[in-house]
Chain A
Amino acid sequence: MNGAQYIVQTLKQQGVTQIFGYPGGAIMPLYDALYDGGVDHLLCRHEQAAALGAVGYARASGQVGVCMATSGPGATNLITGLADAMLDSIPVVAITGQVPMAAIGTDAFQEVDVLGMSLSCTKHSYLVENVEDLGDIIAEAFEVARSGRPGPVLIDVPKNIQVAPVEPRATVPCTTAPNTLDEAALAEAKALLAAARQPVLYVGGGVGMANAEAELRAFAEQSGIPAVTTLKGIGTLNPDHELFLGMLGMHGTKAANLAVQQSDLLMVVGARFDDRVTGKLDAFAVNARVIHLDKDAAEFGKVRHAHVGIDAELTEVLPRLTGERLAIDPWREQCRALKDEHQWRYDHPGEGIFAPLMLKQLSEALDDTAMVSCDVGQHQMWVAQHMRFTSPRNHLSSAGLGTMGFGLPAAIGAKLARPEHESVLVSGDGSFMMNVQELGTLKRAQLPVKMVLLDNQRLGMVRQWQELFFDGRFSETILTDNPDFVAMAAAFGIPGETITRKEQVQPAIARMLQSDTAYLLHVRISEEENVWPLVPPGVANDQMMESKA
């Protein structure tokens, strides 16, 4: 057996059944080993999409996503996907080919110091120097990727290592020691909860990553604390619960932001006070004490002081805090009233399609198992605001990095992870073009991914900021020269249609969902529509701008 075959064998031992990648010179031995190696590989049309496909797969399934690429340009193309995984704490293992050891450092053909390049956007990275180490390194890489705060890990494998003969041996099982719960901190947290008059539960993506939704919902239900989520926390809480106030932050709901601003205690679970969430930090929930629960202790006090920080598995610590119904009836009433007062409004003049309403209708046409991926921009915020999610694994949105081009590869990865569930993409005309070549991948793999393209002929979110904060100077955000998207999909063998008027929406959604192949629903919307409400930069979260209409 050679190193490349050893890699495939070890990947199989790790339970890997699907890889996303793109071949090239320095990784050809590994592709040769894959040829009849018994692991499925999806040929993407760009390495960035391979990495983002692995991210989508990991997010939808909860498994480690795996991608691979050749040295040099292949590896550099992966980097954006790894950075995306890093900022959203997604477990991904990337394997890159490298020039032979003897050529490293000579500026050889397609040589790039990928290890050096990856240092800032992976949880850890390896350069394999001995073929015997391959098995242990891969096993360790998977453990690092999925344990603690999950994240991306890169393994750079020189070509000579891939072809070197090796005697496979059992890999050393790699485990991380469990933390013991800090009883004193737990008692302090309980005391803070009992003393609070206006507490809010602030839920991030860490809960889903830790598979702790059930424990979190039990805590929320028992304690009766009004709750909000971050963008990545969407789906974690029951969306229909009367005390669930929606997303907080820049494009959050008014109810969520007002409740957080008025709170005297924030119980932060698996979240990290991102600046898109806090707005002006000095003015964020100024009267609130903070209980912070996270698997990554380095988050405590990083941005906001935590009165109590508990570094523990959420599945363990949440049940220990569950039990008491808090005596906060007036606050509950106040939050319910906030929620009632600030409902979304879908009345909209004219014949044209109003994207928020269309997304609500799309959501109503899907069942609870459907996965929705989106790109970055206005449409992304409308998805977060107006679609209904019952699991964080069903809302695939590039939150931390905000990667345009994320949506299509993520939707492909999600469909491969859960073929029995609907995979829907909601994209913008700018973002769609960033990984449009993956229509080829979709066709190749015959995946029935449903694509809704909200076309405002603009880089909408940037245009909105130009309108509001740059005196309407629309510098390089006008895309009236977009291609004919339906014809373009057709060129890839994918059917679709264009709609422009309100009354076309429902039947078009039905046609799309009935299609048993991939489908592009091209939706023309007004270029003037903005995302509301909005916390302007440098302002407190209770100073939200709202639609003038």
Chain B
Amino acid sequence: MNQHNLQIEAQFRPEVLERVLRMTRHRGFRVDDMEMSTSADCQNLNIRVTVSSERPIQLLSNQLAKLMNVTRVEAHIMEQPLKKSA
């Protein structure tokens, strides 16, 4: 199980978080940790999510980057896994 940090920037839409989480689950990634904040003008979202999976992270980051309201996706491997996988 590899753990990765994803930094996702998106335009604010009421359903954009749902899109991101749905994609994450469906492509085979478990959300271990997550933070979200809205920009001061409420136009943009910053999502930081730690995910784990057997699958390569590009599988998810490439699909997330395709979402219409997502403007940027950056993936980093976690130096130290947060939690042991089950």
Q: What residues of chain A have their CB less than 8 Å away from a CB belonging to chain B?
A: 115-116, 119-120, 123-124, 127, 144, 296-298, 300-302
* Interface status of B63 (Cβ within 8 A of chain A): yes
Whether the pair A119, B15 counts as a contact (CB closer than 8 A) is yes
Whether the pair A302, B19 counts as a contact (CB closer than 8 A) is no
Contact of A144 among B56, B59, B63, B68 (CB under 8 A): B68
Report Cα–Cα, A300/B61, bound state, in Å.
12
- Collect the chain B residues with CB atoms within 8 Å of residue A115's CB: 15
Whether the pair A124, B15 counts as a contact (CB closer than 8 A) is no
Report Cα–Cα, A115/B19, bound state, in Å.
10
- Collect the chain A residues with CB atoms within 8 Å of residue B56's CB: 301
Whether the pair B62, A119 counts as a contact (CB closer than 8 A) is no
Chain B residues touching A, majority SS: helix
Given A124-B68, A144-B68, A301-B58, are A119 and B18 also a contact pair (CB < 8 Å)?
A: yes
- Collect the chain A residues with CB atoms within 8 Å of residue B15's CB: 115-116, 119, 127
* Interface status of B76 (Cβ within 8 A of chain A): no
A281 to chain B, nearest CB (A): 14
- Collect the chain A residues with CB atoms within 8 Å of residue B19's CB: 119
* Interface status of B84 (Cβ within 8 A of chain A): no
Interface readout for B36-72 with A: 1 if CB under 8 Å, 0 if not? Answer: 0000000000000000000010110011011110000
How many residues on chain B are close to A (CB under 8 Å)? Answer: 15
**CB proximity to A under 8 Å, residues B21-37:** 22, 26
A141 to chain B, nearest CB (A): 10
Most buried by B among A124, A297, A298: A298
- Collect the chain A residues with CB atoms within 8 Å of residue B18's CB: 116, 119
- Collect the chain A residues with CB atoms within 8 Å of residue B62's CB: 297-298, 300, 302
Given A115-B15, A298-B63, A301-B58, are A120 and B68 also a contact pair (CB < 8 Å)?
A: no
B49 to chain A, nearest CB (A): 17
- Collect the chain A residues with CB atoms within 8 Å of residue B63's CB: 298
Report Cα–Cα, A298/B66, bound state, in Å.
8
Whether the pair B26, A120 counts as a contact (CB closer than 8 A) is yes
Report Cα–Cα, A321/B56, bound state, in Å.
30
Report Cα–Cα, A144/B58, bound state, in Å.
23
| 12 A–B pairs (Cβ distance < 8 Å), ordered by A | A115-B15, A119-B15, A119-B18, A119-B19, A120-B22, A120-B26, A127-B15, A298-B62, A298-B63, A298-B66, A301-B56, A301-B59
- Collect the chain A residues with CB atoms within 8 Å of residue B22's CB: 119-120
Report Cα–Cα, A298/B63, bound state, in Å.
6
Report Cα–Cα, A132/B65, bound state, in Å.
28
Whether the pair B26, A302 counts as a contact (CB closer than 8 A) is no
Report Cα–Cα, A119/B21, bound state, in Å.
11
- Collect the chain B residues with CB atoms within 8 Å of residue A127's CB: 14-15
- Collect the chain A residues with CB atoms within 8 Å of residue B68's CB: 123-124, 144
- Collect the chain A residues with CB atoms within 8 Å of residue B66's CB: 296, 298
